[in-house]
Structure 1
Amino acid sequence: MENEALIRLVVFLGLFTVLALLESLAPRRIRSQPRSRRWVTNWGVTIVNTLTLRALAFALPLLAVGAALDAEAQGWGLFNALALPLWLEVVICVLILDFAIWLQHLITHKVPLLWRLHRVHHADVDMDVTTAIRFHPVEIALSMLLKIGLVYLLGPAAVAVVLFEIILNGTAMFNHSNLRLPLWLDTIVRRVLVTPDMHRVHHSVYRAEHDSNYGFSLSIWDQMFGTYIPQPAEGHDDMQVGLEWQDDRPSRFGWSMTLPFARK
């Protein structure tokens, strides 16, 4: 798909800039650590992730959008066997992929080996827009392999995959942001989309709370499958975010990258 990477990059940087500005103007919580050091680490992690995906593209050599184009050319996948209107195919595809990411997220909390990778994301002791890009590169690679396999099974139009990636990245940055929404607006939005207050519960230090609210985009899956917790027990102002490492270690790049391989 022509200029697909450029379109996604422009949207990503635009949304990141807007959300970073908004959370500075209307913060939900007081930061426990300086933003500068955390941002250097979290951006460093996402740069490594980008290089990892580049390397993966050379090895495969297709990522999710390329897989959609290849599946279309080969006539593989469910949607290539159906004659659905494009708009309907896009809607169904986005819903299926979003549910798949929700289920993948739940599994990463239940399988110890995958949790060792995913806890890099949860170890951040503050939450803001950069937490959305803080994932270990091995987890990012595994997630991409899952998406590629699912795209081949579905055979969706490439535009559906691009739209899904844009929605996923945009909503993840939104619901990880330290943005204060009016309570009335949060109540309305979370009926469909995951809000910052809803997702913050998922980053609680308490296992019962961080094993809930797995959605990145749509809130409906948690509500349907009984994994929804509306508010943290200690309230948003007093709750602790992160895991057992409540010091400056999660803000260090080297520590974050080696965390999955630590003994504990």
Structure 2
Amino acid sequence: MMSEFDAFLLGHEPWVRLSAFAGVLAAMAVWETLVPRRRRAIPRARRWPGNLGIVVIDTLVLRVAFPTAAVGLALLAEAQGWGLLNTVTLPHWGAVILAVLALDLAIYLQHVLFHAVPALWRLHRVHHADLEFDVTTALRFHPVEILLSMGLKMAAVAAIGAPPVAVLVFEVLLNACAMFNHGNVRLNGAVDRRLQRVLVTPDMHRVHHSVIRNETNSNFGFCLSWWDRLLGTYRPQPAAGHEGMVIGLEQFRDPRELRLDRLLLQPLRGPTGPYPVNRDGEA
């Protein structure tokens, strides 16, 4: 049975999402300004209009294509008894924790999939082609990838039978963790190592945005660091070090590629390249 707290969260879902998103984005932007990890070579004024513009488009597209989104599907699944967790007897708090863990694993596997299938990589490389690494990189995804990701997430929600509040909590955590681990922020080395035992930190995820292919195809997690460690995709450091590593892809190095119109058309332009997992050469 839904608790009063669950009912409050779900009843104020838009405000919960918006306040968490705006708060974390603002906090990370200030943190990056005060304690940056890497020197910024390209000014924010040149990158942020494209990165933030694509967020607006993504949001509008999702609202049209999925009016009820994942929380709405979770409510339906709960009412109809769909999904694994709706067929077993568990304490509500246990079901919420298991659902959040299962959804985080699903996002990890989805991320690997978008690196493994060349057609999906064409969409996902919009995220990787950013020439800098900061909080707005976390928001830079092609609208078609966003639609496919939402479809896969909703399938996972239905299969797991995730409680509606678990879906809301997970989506807020996912957005917050993504903005945190894409931050151009400096953490104390000992703090970073301790955090990495549980969470994906900026230093851990920055390796994933290296121009070097083997580094690009590592550290796929967005929230929990466990999946990379357990499934053999963890890489502790970039070969050139965090200050010396090159961010982005071998393709799309021209700063003009940071424009919104070029981001939207990028999946249709140029070769797929050698980045997809286990792929050599270009096509």
Give the alignment's TM-score, normalised by structure 1: 0.97
Among 17, 27, 31, which residue is 1:18 paired with? 27
| Match status 1:254 vs 2:261 | yes
Unaligned residue ranges in structure 2 (runs of 5+)? 1-9, 272-283
Among 141, 145, 151, which residue is 2:157 paired with? 151
Partner of 1:110 in structure 2? 116
| Match status 1:41 vs 2:54 | no
| Match status 1:55 vs 2:64 | yes
User: Aligned partners of 1:212, 1:98: CA distance in 2, in Å?
Assistant: 16
The two structures, once aligned, show a CA RMSD in angstroms of: 0.9
Confirm or deny: 8 A CA contact 1:191 1:220 kept in the other structure.
Answer: yes
**Number of equivalences:** 261
Among 182, 199, 222, which residue is 2:188 paired with? 182
User: Aligned partners of 1:226, 1:14: CA distance in 2, in Å?
Assistant: 34
Confirm or deny: 8 A CA contact 1:193 1:217 kept in the other structure.
Answer: yes
User: Aligned partners of 2:73, 2:17: CA distance in 1, in Å?
Assistant: 17
Unaligned residue ranges in structure 1 (runs of 5+)? none
SS, match of residue 262 in structure 2:
helix
Could you tell me which amino acid in structure 2 is paired with residue 255 of structure 1? Answer: R
Could you tell me which amino acid in structure 2 is paired with residue 89 of structure 1? Answer: A
Could you tell me which amino acid in structure 1 is paired with residue 25 of structure 2? Answer: F
Give the alignment's TM-score, normalised by structure 2: 0.90
Identity of aligned residues (%): 54
Task: Write the deviation string for residues 102-154 of structure 1: whole angstroms up to 9, x where unpaired.
Answer: 01101111100000000000000101000000000000000000111111112
Confirm or deny: 8 A CA contact 1:37 1:251 kept in the other structure.
Answer: yes
User: Aligned partners of 1:134, 1:240: CA distance in 2, in Å?
Assistant: 18
User: Aligned partners of 2:249, 2:92: CA distance in 1, in Å?
Assistant: 43
Partner of 1:164 in structure 2? 170
Runs of at least 4 residues off by over 4 Å: none
SS, match of residue 165 in structure 1:
helix
Confirm or deny: 8 A CA contact 2:102 2:160 kept in the other structure.
Answer: no
Among 8, 14, 25, which residue is 1:5 paired with? 14
Could you tell me which amino acid in structure 1 is paired with residue 65 of structure 2? Answer: L
Could you tell me which amino acid in structure 1 is paired with residue 26 of structure 2? Answer: T
User: Aligned partners of 1:170, 1:195: CA distance in 2, in Å?
Assistant: 12
Partner of 1:32 in structure 2? 41
Quote the offset at 1:263 in angstroms: 3.3
Partner of 1:198 in structure 2? 204
User: Aligned partners of 1:225, 1:57: CA distance in 2, in Å?
Assistant: 32
Confirm or deny: 8 A CA contact 2:181 2:201 kept in the other structure.
Answer: yes
Quote the offset at 1:235 in angstroms: 0.5
